[in-house]
Amino acid sequence: MWASNAVTTGIHGEYPPQEQGHGPAVTCRRRLAAWNDAGAWDRLHLALLKKPDR
């Protein structure tokens, strides 16, 4: 069971996802919002547009 869970979800069975609204998902949303507010995505997009094709 743990192997199929690790393959399909990327995590082991002993580390199940937290319920929505608790745990790592909240941290991810907060960090993504902070990066967005700081303009990180816009800067990344501009940097990628300036990178020459190889």
pLDDT tier at 36, thresholds 50, 70, 90:
very high
Asked if the structure places residue 35 within a domain, the reply is yes
Q: Quick one: tokens of 52?
A: 């020459």
How many distinct structural domains can be found in the chain? 1
pLDDT tier at 35, thresholds 50, 70, 90:
very high
Asked if the structure places residue 14 within a domain, the reply is no
Domain of residue 27 covers: 22-54
- 43, 35 contact by CB (below 8 A): no
Q: Among 10, 37, 38, which Cα is nearest to 24's?
A: 10
pLDDT of residue 52: 75
Asked if the structure places residue 52 within a domain, the reply is yes
41: Cα separation from own chain's centroid? 13
